[in-house]
Structure formats: structure tokens, C-alpha cells
Chains A and B, each alone.
Chain A
Amino acid sequence: MNEALLRQLVPAVIGVLVRRGADFASAEDAVQEALIRALDSWPQDPPRDPKGWLVAAAWRKFLDATRAETSRRGRELAVELEPPAGPVPADDDTLRLYFLCAHPTLPQGSAVALTLRAVGGLTTRQIAAAYLVPEATMAQRISRAKRRIAGASFDQPGDLATVLRVLYLVFNEGYGGHVDLAAEAIRLTRQLVALTAEPEVSGLLALMLLHHARRASRTGPGGRLVPLAEQDRTRWDTGLITEGVAILQAALARDRLGEYQAQAAIAALHADAQTAAETDWAQIVEWYDELLLLTGSPVVRLNRAVAVGEAQGPRAGLAALADVSPDLPRYAAVTAYLCERSGDLERAADLYAEAARAATSVPERDHLTREAARVRQLLRR
């Protein structure tokens, strides 16, 4: 049994413990300890019924912990709540676990960490490594998050929109250490798709798959950023693209459009183009219009200006920037690009340099610095 398969069992096992009367925080702790034991002993001694093994081990851990806390109460619990013999019920409370971990009262960072642990089954050490913080720090964040939702009922969870936002956050964190958070987010979103019939969940999964398909081509040697137009499209993962498009089409057919479906539609149109020049920018602009209606987001407005610039020419793109706030991240970079295309190289170079100074990641800064250098070289010719 591989680790991913083992982790898949975690939310169901927490659900069983909670249904048997454990509070969420203790159940989660107990399952973590059982999980660490399983990772340790299963390679030599694989159980016949993995889920049953985990439930039994976690339940023992839970009882031990409860006994240690108050020995008298613990003994009573142990008698009262001794699990019935026989197979573990197949249905689980995984969906409610998703909602609980993404509870609206939790700060986003805590919701992400808790989701990775309780639903994703990652150990605190793995989550800490992914976020490049010390394990003790991550342990604190997680226990604080659990304390915070201690009063939240397992039956009155948060909303789906928050769950989707948390999963998308995980996806966008990328990867560090041994845990690939993008792949983890896809795994969890797949699980969520199986649990709900909401088209936006499928929309988010499609979006992740379509982005993920381009991942290998997004960076060059030494982590250098490669912009979409320059990416080697033969390196795109056609399997993921086909799957993403199929999931998206099924979701769109349900006729309940949401922002993730609209974003996935844009990603699908990019994926569909054999070369950058064949991109159907007119249709992309239409999807940005939909997205703007759905979200009213200034970032969408900014990205729409890029699409307008491609579909109707750089001057139209610059005109579309008129009602976008210059304070937005990437505003200077977008303006620089449109200026360059419209032939205003002087302004483009200055704006690329300005964008580089304001960049929030090293690869982005290096890329924009190089763009400024490139345009200035054109000017010198």
C-alpha cells in the first residue's frame, strides 16, 4: 500500500471517530498518531483491512489520550464507547470534514494547514516542510486552528465557496520539500468532486488540471519563468488537458456557471491552441466578460485588458486598462506589454523596470528585469 492510498483513508477514519463520540480535535490527533504508526509498520506488515486497522489504532490512541487526561472519565468512556465489532461502515463524513476544516472563522493559512492534515492526511512535518517553516511552528498553527473550531458543530459546517478557495490556495502554493501541494490539491479536489454534485467543484478540478498540464513548460533552466506565449507546447500534458476539458464540459452542461468554470474555460482555450498565435482571444475576452459579471474582481479586469489587447489590438487593450486601478499587482507589467506591442518602447522599458521592482517573487522579478533589458536593447538599435 502506498502512502497516497493510506492518506486517502484519513478523513473517513476521523469521521468514524467523531461519530463514535470523539471531539474533532482529539479524533484528528489520534488519527495522526495512528497514521504515523501505519507509515512505520505497514511496509513490513500490511494489514488485510487498512481502514479497519486505522480505525482500531486511532480509537485506541483516542482512548489512551482521554484516559491520560482524566482517568476516571476515560474509563467510563472506554466502557461506554467501546466500538462494536465487525466491519467499519463504508459511508463516511468526509464532506463535513472538508467544511469544518475550511470553517469561515479560521484564517486562510490555518484553514489550509488543517485541511492538509485532517482531510489530506499529511503529517505536521510534511506540511511544515511544504511551507518551509519549523515543524513546531506548524504544530502550533494547527492546534490553534483546532482550538478555534472546537465549538463549531460537526453538523453545521462552513460553505462550499470557502472550501474551494482553500483548495485553490493549496494548489497555488506550488511545492516545497517532498510534498507537491499542487498534486495534493488536485487529489483532494478529486475526492470532493466524488462527494458533491456542485458544478463549481468540477470547475475547480478542471482549472487545476489544465494549469497543472502546463507546469513542466512554465519554467526553464534554473527556475527561469517562461511566459505562456513562449512555452514549448509539446511539453504540455495532453492527458491532463483532455481530462480537464471533459470535466469542464460536463460541468458547463449543467448550466450553473461559476468563477472556477469560467476560469477553466479560459485555460481550456489556451490549452486548445497548437501555437500561441492560434489562441482564440475573441472567445477568451467573452469568458473574461462572464468572469467579470460573476466576480467584479479588479484582477479579472486587468487580465481582461491583456485578452482585449490580443483580440482587438494593443490600443484597445490600453483603453481597457482605463478603469483598472494602477495599484494592482502586475498593473505595470501588463501596461508595459501593451505599450511594447503598440510601439511605445521607451515607456515599455520603464514600466517593465518598474514592474520588476514591484514583483513579489524572484523568478517574476528576474523575468521582468530581463524584459526591460530586452526592450532597452531594441531601443539602442
Chain B
Amino acid sequence: MKYLLLKHYRGGPTPAVDYPPMDRWTPEEVDAHLQFMRDFAARLEETGEFVETQALLTEGAFVRSGGPGQPPVTDGPFAETKDLIAGWYVIDVESWDRAVELAGELSAAPGPGGKPICEWLEVRPFFAAAPAE
């Protein structure tokens, strides 16, 4: 069963831990955080639960059709005001419980002072393939 672990720059429930942006951590704290992320992905690959991970740039905009013969209409970017998706992991696990367990682990990535940042992660199951007739 595939699940999406969605990371947000902001948005979602009120943060459990208030930590400054990463460029205000110490270099060692930055290294420890990045190492944790790499280890997490490597561990999932070992258990056969890793599917993919992608990071997204902060910039972006909402776009919609402007009507026939018209250029598309864009709104944004909203880097300062709205929810933004930072990136995602796709995992393939046995159960919802396992997906929640892994999201919990990922959320415990170390931040300033080595303390877990406890960021909120959105966990969403994928639709399955269409059933065979």
C-alpha cells in the first residue's frame, strides 16, 4: 500500500516546536539534520519500503485557464502567506499504522540543540490500481 508523506514549509496544525529557519542553526546542527534525512531514506530502501522522494523549490504560483484564446491566469507566488509544499516521500508499506510510524520517525529529525523538530507531516494513502475484472 502506497502512502505520500507530504512535507510543508508552513500550513497545517499549529507547530509543536517553534524553531528558527535552518540557516540560523549551527553548521553542526544543519549537518546532523541532513544526515538524519539521508539515513531515513537509506533505511527505507533497506526495508524495501522506499519508493521516491522529491524536494520542491519554494517559488511557484496558482494557475488557471483564462478562457478560450486567452493566456492562462496566474495568482501568487504566495511564499510569505500561504501553505507551501516543500517536498514529499512516497513509501510502500504494509499498513496505515506503519505509515504513521514512519511519519513520526521522520518528524523527529533533529533541529537546534539536537532536539526533534516535530514538524507536522501530512500522510495520505494512494488509490489502489483498478480492480481486475
Chain B residues within an 8 Å CB radius of A362 = 55
Tell me if A374 and B27 are in contact (CB < 8 A).
yes
Interface-forming stretch among A106-114, A317-325, A365-373? A365-373
Q: In whole angstroms, how far apart are the Cα atoms of A372 and B30 in the complex?
A: 10
Give a binary string over A342-381; 1 marks a CB under 8 Å from any B CB, 0 the rest.
0000000100110011001010011001101110110000
Tell me if A360 and B57 are in contact (CB < 8 A).
yes
Kindly identify, within residues 25 to 72 of chain B, every residue whose CB is under 8 Å from any CB belonging to chain A.
25-27, 29-31, 34-35, 38, 55, 57-58
- Our pick among A222, A223, A360, A370 for the contact of B30 (Cβ within 8 Å) is A370
Known: A222-B35, A357-B58, A360-B57. A369 touches B26 (CB 8 A): no
Interface-forming stretch among B16-24, B102-110, B114-122? B16-24
- Our pick among A222, A357, A370, A376 for the contact of B38 (Cβ within 8 Å) is A222
Tell me if A376 and B24 are in contact (CB < 8 A).
yes
Known: A357-B58, A360-B57, A362-B55. A370 touches B24 (CB 8 A): no
Chain A residues within an 8 Å CB radius of B35 = 222
Summarize A's interface: helix, strand, loop or mixed. Answer: helix
Q: In whole angstroms, how far apart are the Cα atoms of A353 and B22 in the complex?
A: 9
Tell me if B38 and A377 are in contact (CB < 8 A).
no
- Our pick among B30, B38, B58 for the contact of A373 (Cβ within 8 Å) is B30
Tell me if B22 and A373 are in contact (CB < 8 A).
yes
Nearest residue (CB) in B for A374 is B27
Known: A222-B34, A222-B35, A222-B38. A373 touches B55 (CB 8 A): no
Tell me if B22 and A369 are in contact (CB < 8 A).
yes
Tell me if A373 and B34 are in contact (CB < 8 A).
no
A261 to chain B, nearest CB (A): 34
B42 to chain A, nearest CB (A): 9
Summarize B's interface: helix, strand, loop or mixed. Answer: helix
Known: A353-B21, A362-B55. A377 touches B26 (CB 8 A): yes
Chain A residues within an 8 Å CB radius of B22 = 369, 373
For A, the interface residue count at a CB cutoff of 8 angstroms equals 19
Tell me if A373 and B24 are in contact (CB < 8 A).
yes
Tell me if B27 and A370 are in contact (CB < 8 A).
yes
A327 to chain B, nearest CB (A): 13
A377 to chain B, nearest CB (A): 5
Q: In whole angstroms, how far apart are the Cα atoms of A360 and B58 in the complex?
A: 10
- Our pick among B23, B27, B38 for the contact of A353 (Cβ within 8 Å) is B23
Chain A residues within an 8 Å CB radius of B55 = 362, 365
Q: In whole angstroms, how far apart are the Cα atoms of A369 and B28 in the complex?
A: 12
Chain A residues within an 8 Å CB radius of B34 = 222, 224, 366
Chain A residues within an 8 Å CB radius of B26 = 373, 377
A79 to chain B, nearest CB (A): 48
B58 to chain A, nearest CB (A): 6
Tell me if B57 and A373 are in contact (CB < 8 A).
no
Which of A222, A353, A374 has the largest count of B CB atoms less than 10 A from its CB?
A: A222
A183 to chain B, nearest CB (A): 25
Q: In whole angstroms, how far apart are the Cα atoms of A366 and B33 in the complex?
A: 10
Chain A residues within an 8 Å CB radius of B57 = 360
Known: A222-B34, A357-B58. A377 touches B23 (CB 8 A): no
Tell me if A349 and B23 are in contact (CB < 8 A).
yes
Known: A369-B30, A370-B31, A373-B29. A356 touches B23 (CB 8 A): yes
Chain A residues within an 8 Å CB radius of B24 = 372-373, 376
B52 to chain A, nearest CB (A): 9
Chain A residues within an 8 Å CB radius of B21 = 353
Tell me if A369 and B23 are in contact (CB < 8 A).
yes
Q: In whole angstroms, how far apart are the Cα atoms of A366 and B35 in the complex?
A: 11
Chain B residues within an 8 Å CB radius of A223 = 38
Q: In whole angstroms, how far apart are the Cα atoms of A357 and B35 in the complex?
A: 20
Q: In whole angstroms, how far apart are the Cα atoms of A224 and B37 in the complex?
A: 13
Nearest residue (CB) in B for A357 is B58
Chain B residues within an 8 Å CB radius of A222 = 34-35, 38
Interface residues of A (CB under 8 A from B): 222-224, 349, 352-353, 356-357, 360, 362, 365-366, 369-370, 372-374, 376-377
The 5 closest A-B pairs by CB, nearest first: A372-B23, A353-B23, A222-B38, A374-B27, A373-B27
Would you give 11 A-B contacts (Cβ < 8 Å), ordered by A?
Answer: A222-B35, A223-B38, A349-B23, A369-B23, A369-B30, A370-B27, A373-B25, A373-B27, A374-B27, A376-B23, A377-B27
Interface residues of B (CB under 8 A from A): 21-27, 29-31, 34-35, 38, 55, 57-58
List 17 additional A-B contacts (Cβ < 8 Å) besides A224-B34, A365-B55: A222-B34, A223-B38, A353-B21, A353-B23, A356-B23, A357-B58, A369-B30, A370-B27, A372-B23, A372-B24, A373-B22, A373-B24, A373-B25, A373-B26, A373-B29, A374-B27, A377-B26
